[in-house]
Chain A
Amino acid sequence: MPIFLVFYIKISIKYRKNHVLEKTAMKQKFDAELLKTQLEVQEQTMQSIATELHDNVGQLLSLTTLTLNSIDLNNTEKAGKKIDNSLGLVNNSIKELRELAKLLHGEQIVQNGIGHAIEQELNWLNKAGVHQLIVSNNLIDLNYTSPDKDLIILRLLQEIINNIIKHAKASVIEVEGYFKENTLYLNVKENGVGFDVEETRGRRTGMGLNSIYKRIEMINGKLALNSSPNHGTTILIEIPYP
């Protein structure tokens, strides 16, 4: 019996050591992936800001310059109108810059809750005016938070939206988010060109799908992707939450 006990303790400790090592490795992997996600979210924010500065604020300020340059001080009536127009343009620029400032707090978006982060993301998409959005976001009043998962969920949504913008050629995007029985549901549906899921997943570079699946798996979530050529795409995400 003592020999058996000594062996048992030895094996038991060895097993626990392996388990601890495995857990540490998994934690490191998770942290690395989280950091990557964080960087991607920041990158996406910077891209949005760059686009916004170039396409919106930049244009508004150029127009302001043109308007101010064209003022003829001898024609006071016209000059007054142009100055009013310029003021309007400057005010619009200020408004746009304030919106941009909100975006700069990329990490704080998630701190306000995943519902707000999704709302912000969809607001930017809506602003572009390319797609008709049908949104049912019931996550705004969610009482639970999970910062790590929120960041990953936000990045998933960004990745899905990027894919729709780049590849789907969709006109309508439906987004539904809700929480039920400790599970967060996020469904995205669009009426674009669709694609062959298996074939795309097989390709290593295919639309970041593998990365989406990997991240979903990392937070013990489930992802159902239904798509076929010319029939749009539906993505159903289920994540244990918080």
Chain B
Amino acid sequence: MFISLSIITVVELLCFILGLITLLGDKKPLWRNTLIFLLIVCLTEVILGRWAARKFHNNIFIYNIYTLFEAGFISAGIYQCLKKYINPTKIITIGLVIFYVTYIAFFVTHGISPYNTWAASILAVIFVLYCLYYYYLVISADELMEINTSPEFWWMTAVLFFYFGSTTGNLFHELFTSIVIGKFSIRGHLFNVLNVIFYSLWAYSFICRIKQRRLQS
């Protein structure tokens, strides 16, 4: 059976395969969670999304459920990165509470079928703020980070690129969806590019991580 794959799905799969090669057996929560998250991403894109589209002619509710996992896993990753500098329990909890309240509010008012834009937009803004705070902590820390080879730094940078781009996409939603170039609207192209950047940076962070592990062992 031939399955046509979008650019996004291809980079997600490639990133997951690289994750399996480099992170399998890594005991650090950040990398273990990342691998599980990538598995969920791939399952959603390749199996669940397609199955729902065939069965219900609408797979958006799958992506709405996926957003819940996305919020949890990315928040957990950010928690691990921030933990090196501060105790991030409070800010991560506040962020998650804001996200879930928004999510439920949208769900109650609009149902499960339309895409939960409120929660997705709020989530993107919260993640961007976390990333900026992380950068601030990196700059002001006494210990100087070797950023070229720091897996955590590139993991966070990927998150910043993707969610900052998403926020921009959300802000100019009307404009970006109205202009169509080729097969996709500008918004579609933007998300293709953002996903490529996101997974490329994560792939780079995985490589940094395996080098780090080799040096530590």
Task: Annotate A6-25 by CB proximity to B: 1 below 8 A, 0 otherwise.
Answer: 10011011001100100000
Interface hits, B14-65 → A, CB 8 Å: none
A1-B164, A2-B164, A5-B135 known; A13 vs B144 contact (CB < 8 Å):
yes
**B164 to A9, Cβ gap below 8 A?**
no
Provide the residues of chain A in CB contact with B147, threshold 8 Å: 6, 9-10, 13
Distance between B64 CB and nearest chain A CB, rounded to angstroms: 27
Task: Annotate B124-147 by CB proximity to A: 1 below 8 A, 0 otherwise.
Answer: 000000001001001100001101
**A17 to B144, Cβ gap below 8 A?**
yes
**A9 to B135, Cβ gap below 8 A?**
yes
Distance between A155 CB and nearest chain B CB, rounded to angstroms: 35
Q: How far is the CA of A6 from the CA of B164 in the complex (A)?
A: 13
Provide the residues of chain A in CB contact with B164, threshold 8 Å: 1-2
**B144 to A2, Cβ gap below 8 A?**
no
Q: How far is the CA of A197 from the CA of B160 in the complex (A)?
A: 63
Pick the contact of A6: B132, B144, B145, B157 (CB < 8 A). B157
**A13 to B145, Cβ gap below 8 A?**
yes
Distance between B33 CB and nearest chain A CB, rounded to angstroms: 22
Using a Cβ–Cβ cut-off of 8 Å, how many residues does chain A contribute to the interface with B? Answer: 11
Q: How far is the CA of A13 from the CA of B153 in the complex (A)?
A: 13
**B144 to A16, Cβ gap below 8 A?**
yes
Distance between A207 CB and nearest chain B CB, rounded to angstroms: 44
A12-B139, A13-B139 known; A5 vs B160 contact (CB < 8 Å):
yes
**B144 to A20, Cβ gap below 8 A?**
yes
* Chain B binding surface, main DSSP class: helix
Q: How far is the CA of A209 from the CA of B161 in the complex (A)?
A: 60
Using a Cβ–Cβ cut-off of 8 Å, how many residues does chain B contribute to the interface with A? Answer: 12
Distance between A5 CB and nearest chain B CB, rounded to angstroms: 6
Provide the residues of chain A in CB contact with B135, threshold 8 Å: 5, 9
**B160 to A2, Cβ gap below 8 A?**
yes
Q: How far is the CA of A16 from the CA of B145 in the complex (A)?
A: 10
Pick the contact of B161: A2, A9, A13, A20 (CB < 8 A). A2
Distance between B160 CB and nearest chain A CB, rounded to angstroms: 5
Provide the residues of chain B in CB contact with A2, threshold 8 Å: 157, 160-161, 164
Q: How far is the CA of A187 from the CA of B160 in the complex (A)?
A: 62
Q: How far is the CA of A5 from the CA of B157 in the complex (A)?
A: 9
Provide the residues of chain B in CB contact with A5, threshold 8 Å: 132, 135, 160
Distance between B200 CB and nearest chain A CB, rounded to angstroms: 13
Nearest A residue to B139, CB-CB: A12
Provide the residues of chain B in CB contact with A12, threshold 8 Å: 139
Provide the residues of chain B in CB contact with A9, threshold 8 Å: 135, 138-139, 147
Task: Annotate B150-172 by CB proximity to A: 1 below 8 A, 0 otherwise.
Answer: 00000001001100100000000
Q: How far is the CA of A168 from the CA of B105 in the complex (A)?
A: 92
Nearest A residue to B146, CB-CB: A13
Provide the residues of chain B in CB contact with A13, threshold 8 Å: 138-139, 144-145, 147
Can you add 16 more A-B contacts, CB < 8 Å, to A2-B157, A13-B147, A20-B144? A1-B164, A2-B161, A2-B164, A5-B160, A6-B147, A6-B157, A9-B138, A9-B139, A10-B147, A10-B148, A12-B139, A13-B138, A13-B139, A13-B144, A16-B144, A17-B144
Interface of B toward A, CB cutoff 8 Å: 132, 135, 138-139, 144-145, 147-148, 157, 160-161, 164
Which A-B residue pairs are the 6 nearest by beta carbons?
A2-B161, A2-B160, A2-B164, A12-B139, A17-B144, A13-B144
Q: List 8 A-B contacts (CB under 8 A).
A: A5-B132, A9-B139, A9-B147, A10-B147, A12-B139, A13-B145, A13-B147, A16-B144
